[in-house]
Structure 1
């Protein structure tokens, strides 16, 4: 069940990243056309940047789920099969540890419980915490930046799921073959 959930999430992330890649292309081409006409749309550039950031985080989670990231395998290639499996388990554990650390950092960054305790009053939240995450607007889009930054907690949670899934898979594969 965990594997199926992780695989399904990775597939959704891949599809969404592909849609965002197409959107980035369309946004940039639109901006080029409007600049050529002498009427640049500045918000289009900012939207393209945020779409590219979201695309990158989404596909990074899927790539790590599939274990298709760039890796230096000089050491692991020299090891016997058992050593390679142990290195694989260690890598999966480090990915999970990084993901959980990122979840914790996002929790501290967004402080959702404190925001709820202040009745979702961002001014009271800022006064109590000196955290201005909910106050800053984007330059041209006019939306709060925390909406764009929500990809980071999403990535952290997604990577946590993928990390647990990969670690369980590595551990059960190791037990079954040794």
Structure 2
């Protein structure tokens, strides 16, 4: 084996290592997202039953409605991130279905790059929203940070629950990071660095040929 062939083999080995590591991280994130979605759906169901019972008894709990709404929104965000990895997100495939396998991989990779850019952009926005660096410079003094930055994220409470809004908004960075990781895993598969792995909706992971 000459030097060029040896370098090519080493490059393929490194790509495979990176791809497998990315897939492993994506699997862990997907497993956590499944747990969160299941827990949130169960909590929403329980809150609806509680709401029905309290209203029937003439003593409704207003905070139940707000909590159920927040959980529903969080479920949508986390569930959407999961469907990206499952490749179950909505798509118009009229053009893609007419392409050959090689061209379809190119289009899939391009679309995945767009999704990755979207996820990274959301991470930047979340970083600016939560502003952890400035918060740390303020010694995690919420009052001092709010006065200096005029960012009321850490002081404004929710309407009925009374908890800080930043707790509710934590779903945004979780969603952004999850989408970015899943897009990276999809991308290494679209590029042919690893076999395509599908995370089944029923929690069972199956492999299909890349």
Structure 2 spans left out of the alignment, 5+ residues = 1-20, 195-208
Q: Of the candidates 124, 129, 132, which is equivalent to residue 109 of structure 1?
A: 129
Displacement of 1:112 after TM fit?
Answer: 0.3
> Given the two structures, how large is their TM-score scaled by the length of structure 2?
0.80
Task: Tell me if 1:84 matches 2:104.
Answer: yes
State whether structure 2 residue 179 is matched by structure 1 residue 154.
Answer: no
Deviations 1:145-174 (CA, angstroms, capped at 9, x unpaired): 100100001111111111111111111259
What is the RMSD of the two structures over their aligned residues, measured on CA atoms?
1.5
Q: CA deviation at 1:11?
A: 2.0
Residue 57 in structure 1 maps to residue 66 in structure 2 = no
Residue deviations 1:96-126 (CA, integer Å, cap 9, x gap): 1000000000001110000000111122212
Bigger Rg over Cα = 2
Bigger drift between 130-139 and 101-110 goes to 130-139
Distance across 2 between alignment mates of 1:130 and 1:40 = 36
1:36-70 CA-partner distances (Å, limit 9, x unpaired) = 11000111111111111221111111101111111
After superposing on structure 2, the runs of 4+ consecutive aligned residues of structure 1 that deviate more than 2 Å are none
| More helix per residue | 1
TM-score, normalisation: structure 1? 0.93
Secondary structure of the residue aligned to 1:143 is: coil
Name the count of aligned residue pairs: 175
